[in-house]
Amino acid sequence: MGGGPPTRRPDRPAAGSGRRPGPAAGIGRQFAGRVGLFLRVDDFDAAYARMAEYGVHFEGEPRSERYGQVVVFHDVAGNRWDLLGPRPQ
């Protein structure tokens, strides 16, 4: 066996050939467009107001569900999160 670099198999694309997306292609798409991350807070209204103040992008308005208050937001990589809080009293 020689000491040179390994040879490329012809049935596989070469690294960096552009034929296969790299890891960066998955950023923001780890959950196939669905919510995949959850941030549970004790004070929903305060968290929502503070996040909005800092320019967080929300999908629609907060809504009340049987399990509590919820609104979907995006992080800087485009991932979709649920902001979750307790049901209003």
**Where in the sequence is the domain holding 53, given as residue range(s)?**
35-85
Strands 80-85 and 37-40: parallel
With vertex at residue 32, the alpha carbon angle to CA 16 and CA 62, rounded to the nearest 5 degrees, is 135
For the whole model, what pTM was predicted?
Answer: 0.64
Number of folded domains in the chain? Answer: 1
- How sure is the predictor about 41, in pLDDT bands with cuts at 50, 70 and 90? very high
Tell me, what CATH number does 49's domain have? Answer: 3.10.180.10
Query: Does residue 48 fall inside a structural domain?
Result: yes
68 within domain boundaries: yes
pLDDT tens-digit series, residues 62-79:
999 999 999 999 988 888
C-alpha to C-alpha distance for 25 and 22, rounded to whole angstroms: 6
Confidence band, pLDDT 50/70/90 cuts, at residue 49: very high
